[in-house]
Amino acid sequence: MKRLDIPFENPANKKISEKLIKLISLDDPIEDLVPLIQQIRVDRGFLDAVGHGNEFQMNETHIEFFNSIEKIIFPDYSPSNDEILKTRLKTTGIFEFTFPYKKFNIKLIDVGGQRSERKKWIYCFEDMNAIIYVASLIDYCMVLEEDNLTVNFIERFY
């Protein structure tokens, strides 16, 4: 919010957000974070900043997390298939998964997406009959974390 120059509607929420950042850094139990998240997520300034999520690294799954915090904290919480599909794990390196589908053996290759990994990609595609490129639509208008100017989606193709 500081980078976007959007203040909290309630000035007390600035202190709460700073406390929240410290607690997250310390790996405190999520139960300690819930009241803080609940207060911040309804602040008009926070909601305005969320509307500018493409200008920093915030996507729609973060908002879903904030809105689902009350159910997530329970030890018996089990995510839905939809929630699992929306998770994101930043990977580096190259991971291969092979599985059968009808009469085909499908090889799924996660090339990490990191700029430093791209030179290694070419070796993944030897002896392939088809390639399906999957791109994140969430990144369509999001800017790069490194420069806050370049549109992430365009950069992925270079």
The answer to whether the annotation marks 36 as part of a ligand binding site is no
* Cβ atoms 92, 117 nearer than 8 A: yes
The answer to whether the annotation marks 42 as part of a ligand binding site is no
The answer to whether the annotation marks 113 as part of a ligand binding site is yes
The answer to whether the annotation marks 23 as part of a ligand binding site is no
The answer to whether the annotation marks 92 as part of a ligand binding site is no
The answer to whether the annotation marks 102 as part of a ligand binding site is no
Q: How far apart are CA 50 and CA 62, in angstroms?
A: 10
The answer to whether the annotation marks 86 as part of a ligand binding site is yes
The answer to whether the annotation marks 90 as part of a ligand binding site is yes
Kindly give, in sequence order, each residue whose CB lies less than 8 Å from that of residue 14, ignoring residues fewer than 6 positions away. 7, 8
The answer to whether the annotation marks 93 as part of a ligand binding site is no
Exposure string of 50-77, with b = 16+ CB inside 10 Å and e = fewer, is beebbeeeebeeeeeebeebeeeeeeee
The answer to whether the annotation marks 91 as part of a ligand binding site is yes
Could you tell me which residues are annotated as the binding site for GTP? 85-91, 110-114
Could you tell me which residues are annotated as the binding site? 85-91, 110-114
Could you tell me which residues are annotated as the binding site for Mg(2+)? 91
